[in-house]
Structure 1
Amino acid sequence: MRVLFVFGTRPEAVKLCPLVLAMCERGGFEPRVCVTAQHREMLDAILTAFGVEAQIDLNLMRPGQTLAGLTARIIKALDPVLVEEQPDFVLVQGDTTTTFAAALAAFYRRIRVGHVEAGLRTGDVAEPFPEEMNRVLTTRLAALHFAPTARAAENLIGERVARDTIHVTGNTGIDALQYIRGRLERGEIAGYAGPLPPAGKLVVAMTAHRRESFGPGFEQICDAALRLAARGDVEIIYPVHPNPNVRETVHRRLRGVPGITLLEPLEYVPFVDLMRRADVLLTDSGGVQEEGPSLGKPVLVMRDKTERQEAVEAGVAKLVGTDPDRITAAVAEALGNAKKGSGREAVDSPFGDGRASVRILDIIQSFQSK
């Protein structure tokens, strides 16, 4: 069975590479990888970390490209690939522009689409933007829906998606985390080699990149970071996203501030290692919300809504928005717990057990045999 994986960003690659590897190990599949290179620099490092090779590289990202322009370019470039490859299935992941555009291109060619990490919803098409709409539209195009949790499956059922096409598999991001963490612990790969504070200082690993926070939201996030750095007992380590809307504000407000270390974007492996070393994770990233609980780290989410409500309900993540008062209060509480040695132990993740890829392969094989 020929399966074409299409992805373009680091999060997609992280969550699809374990599935590619599992497919190669099992046999009976002919996996083919097509990348749009929506995140060129970040994407290549992931492929290397997992030993996955892209057979087709569309290399579509351009500086200043609009969402509409990128969507059109993906559909146009992918169509001849679909004609030449003739896959039995196209697999996409998550909620990016590549996800939606690839699903639409496959639909136009009457090729079945499998959606990995299906069913996540905030219920607000403006948050996250444009991801919420991307995943809603991808749902309408997919033949198989691989929901990471029971809640995600219920979301799909509530949208009248056929029940026999919905499968709760767990999240392949946990598969990836366990694979990389194991290699780090065995010393097979190099981890984080960047600056760390002296002993006695607590580490806040921070990421922020959401489009809906551009402008005032990022100004508030920077206000919070400045307040936290002023404590004197905290080092914020912040790999800054390459998007110019993020970098301009962050470097203008935070560069050179004592207690704040700004880094270039970290590759996935060193970032996993940084999370392992941190005391608190301050983020707006979906992936970090999933990974943090498995690493035993408190996760503070700089958003007002999350499509990963399971972590909030389990008490392993907390929504803090972008208000500086809320952020600093929540970080102070989490750091206080860390100082007392009452931080969390690694817990069973509400997002999976590391076997999502195996379940997805079983489902695809069963579906194909019908």
Structure 2
Amino acid sequence: MSYYVRERLPPRSTGIANRDQDRGRPAMQREVHLIGGTRSEAIRLAPVTLAMREAGLLQPVMIAAGKHTGTVTRTLAAFGLEPDITVEGTGNDTVEGTRTDNGDDPLLRELDELWSVRTPAAVIVQGDTTVSLAAALAAFWRRIPVVHLEAGVRSDDLSSPSAQEPDRRLLAQVASLHLAPTPLAAMNLLDERIAHTDVLVTGTTVLDATLAVTTRRTPFQNPAVAAARTGSTNRLVLITGYGSEAGGEPRMAAAARELAERHPDVDVVLAVHSGQVDALPGDSRVIVTGPLSYPDLSRLLCEAYLVVADSDGVAEEATAFGVPTLMPRDGGEPAASLTADCARAIGADTEAIVTAASALLTSRFRRDAMAAGNTPYGDGLAARRTAQAAAALLGLAPVPDAMPVSVPVLPSGAHA
């Protein structure tokens, strides 16, 4: 075994049979295990952990699992949290868009062994990674209810080498409760004959996470960003992403420089991930940096006038603050964002990025019209709904109301 448990939590009884005995115990002693294997999962699960603690009906146990437990730990620290249990199994992974597994997942075996001696009342997984699927299967085989956060997201592309779509659909078959981020995601589940009583639209907890971090208004951790933004009155364009298209990051760098040249009242922060882009000499208004910490990213999104990103997660956060988001890609448009016209897919080449961004930078009307639509992702209360829904699943609370279909855009520094 390669997991360890922090001693600050009380020991649990063993065996599935004891779950029924737990129902007679004080609610605070009933554990719900939240499984995070990536930075994205940690961001979305952290607000749920905090909401469960606040409600006092269940004991949340945060588990960092898989190959990237260090990343999970660092991300949780932004919320004042740390993993309660770490399962450092090798697990399966996705490398450069290709699923790498042989059907024999050590992570699944280790979670099964953990839950054979410390059986939770329920398990919460998020999204569509192989860590989430392994945890869901391990819980299902031990007859532990599975709560799927951000359920119902679909691309309808079963041939993708990343295997995200098959994993999403497999998760839907073993989950007891499906918490959809948007009404569209809920409709996908209903179309797949998931019982409507097992589906709840909660919104996405990434908005809760962003609000939790930005309200602290902590100083920038990145010194280059701090130096550039301190005292600056320029409009901010944030360009970030994984450069998923071939040569994506160099093209984004070229676009950043051209935007700064065309618009003297604009600062550009270019956050790159692969190290393919060096600093751009001679232009102090283009700040090139590596991956941003979550607090820094959230604050920049809050202050941004415009965001260019190829990440759906960044689009969710940016549109929550009413910041228009341009997404350089050749496909895979975020349908939920497009329903509110707060994000727009554009070409991935430099000219397409510059043209689309300049159109919004030169016309306040166009920019504000794009930002005016309500966000389809939530209202910042998804974590509370999730905590209450998990308690309701275990008979400890009433079922929460679903997220309103139309919710207001949250205030941002861009509109100050």
Structure 1: gaps spanning 5 or more residues: none
Amino acid at match of 1:237: V
Identity %: 32
Query: Partner of 1:169 in structure 2?
Result: 202
| Structure 1 residues 169 and 199: alpha-carbon distance in aligned structure 2, compared to 1, 3 A threshold | closer
Structure 2 CA distance for aligned equivalents of residues 90 and 196 of structure 1? 43
User: Could you tell me which of 72, 81, 85 is aligned with 1:56?
Assistant: 85
Query: Partner of 1:95 in structure 2?
Result: 128
Structure 2: gaps spanning 5 or more residues: 1-29, 397-416
Secondary structure class of the residue paired with 1:322: coil
Q: Shift of the alpha carbon at 1:279? A: 2.0
Structure 1 CA distance for aligned equivalents of residues 77 and 101 of structure 2? 29
User: Could you tell me which of 142, 149, 168 is aligned with 1:116?
Assistant: 149
1:136 is the counterpart of 2:180: no
User: Could you tell me which of 370, 376, 387 is aligned with 1:361?
Assistant: 387
Q: Shift of the alpha carbon at 1:341? A: 8.4
CA RMSD of aligned residues (A): 3.1
User: Could you tell me which of 218, 225, 246 is aligned with 1:215?
Assistant: 246
Query: Partner of 2:287 in structure 1?
Result: 261
Q: Shift of the alpha carbon at 1:4? A: 0.7
User: Could you tell me which of 295, 320, 332 is aligned with 1:294?
Assistant: 320
Query: Partner of 1:316 in structure 2?
Result: 342
| Structure 1 residues 303 and 132: alpha-carbon distance in aligned structure 2, compared to 1, 3 A threshold | farther
- 8 A contact 2:341–2:371 mirrored in 1: no
Q: Shift of the alpha carbon at 1:94? A: 1.2
Structure 2 CA distance for aligned equivalents of residues 157 and 65 of structure 1? 29
Query: Partner of 1:159 in structure 2?
Result: 192
Query: Partner of 2:59 in structure 1?
Result: 30
Q: Shift of the alpha carbon at 1:216? A: 4.8
Query: Partner of 1:238 in structure 2?
Result: 270
Q: Shift of the alpha carbon at 1:60? A: 4.6
- 8 A contact 2:62–2:83 mirrored in 1: yes
Query: Partner of 2:308 in structure 1?
Result: 282
Structure 2 CA distance for aligned equivalents of residues 255 and 339 of structure 1? 33
Q: Which moved more, 1:81-90 or 1:307-316?
A: 307-316
Q: Shift of the alpha carbon at 1:61? A: 6.5
- 8 A contact 1:42–1:267 mirrored in 2: no
- 8 A contact 1:118–1:146 mirrored in 2: yes
Q: Shift of the alpha carbon at 1:38? A: 4.4
Secondary structure class of the residue paired with 1:167: strand
Amino acid at match of 1:87: P
Secondary structure class of the residue paired with 1:51: coil
- 8 A contact 2:69–2:86 mirrored in 1: no
Structure 1 CA distance for aligned equivalents of residues 391 and 333 of structure 2? 29
Select the structure of larger CA radius of gyration.
2
Structure 2 CA distance for aligned equivalents of residues 235 and 280 of structure 1? 11
| Structure 1 residues 318 and 65: alpha-carbon distance in aligned structure 2, compared to 1, 3 A threshold | closer
Runs of 4 or more consecutive aligned structure 1 residues displaced over 6 Å after TM superposition:
343-347
Structure 1 CA distance for aligned equivalents of residues 105 and 288 of structure 2? 34
- 8 A contact 1:295–1:347 mirrored in 2: no
Any idea what the Cα deviations from partners look like across 1:207-251, whole Å, max 9, x if unmatched?
A: 2126xx25355565455445445546354312233xxxx33xx33
Q: Which moved more, 1:229-238 or 1:156-165?
A: 229-238
Structure 1 CA distance for aligned equivalents of residues 382 and 67 of structure 2? 25
Amino acid at match of 1:173: V
- 8 A contact 2:305–2:323 mirrored in 1: yes
| Structure 1 residues 346 and 340: alpha-carbon distance in aligned structure 2, compared to 1, 3 A threshold | closer
| Structure 1 residues 79 and 321: alpha-carbon distance in aligned structure 2, compared to 1, 3 A threshold | farther
TM-score between the two structures when normalised by the length of structure 2: 0.75
Amino acid at match of 1:23: M
1:196 is the counterpart of 2:228: yes
| Structure 1 residues 204 and 167: alpha-carbon distance in aligned structure 2, compared to 1, 3 A threshold | same
- 8 A contact 1:122–1:305 mirrored in 2: no
Equivalent pairs, count: 355
- 8 A contact 1:311–1:317 mirrored in 2: yes
Alignment of 1:330-349 (within 5 A): 330-337=356-363, 342=368, 348-349=374-375
Structure 2 CA distance for aligned equivalents of residues 107 and 149 of structure 1? 25
Q: Shift of the alpha carbon at 1:358? A: 2.0
- 8 A contact 1:337–1:343 mirrored in 2: no
Q: Shift of the alpha carbon at 1:131? A: 3.0
Any idea what the Cα deviations from partners look like across 1:99-131, whole Å, max 9, x if unmatched?
A: 222212222333221110011112224569343
Between structures 1 and 2, the one with greater helix share: 1
Q: Shift of the alpha carbon at 1:168? A: 0.9
Structure 2 CA distance for aligned equivalents of residues 236 and 34 of structure 1? 37
| Structure 1 residues 76 and 69: alpha-carbon distance in aligned structure 2, compared to 1, 3 A threshold | farther
| Structure 1 residues 327 and 144: alpha-carbon distance in aligned structure 2, compared to 1, 3 A threshold | same
TM-score between the two structures when normalised by the length of structure 1: 0.84
Amino acid at match of 1:77: E
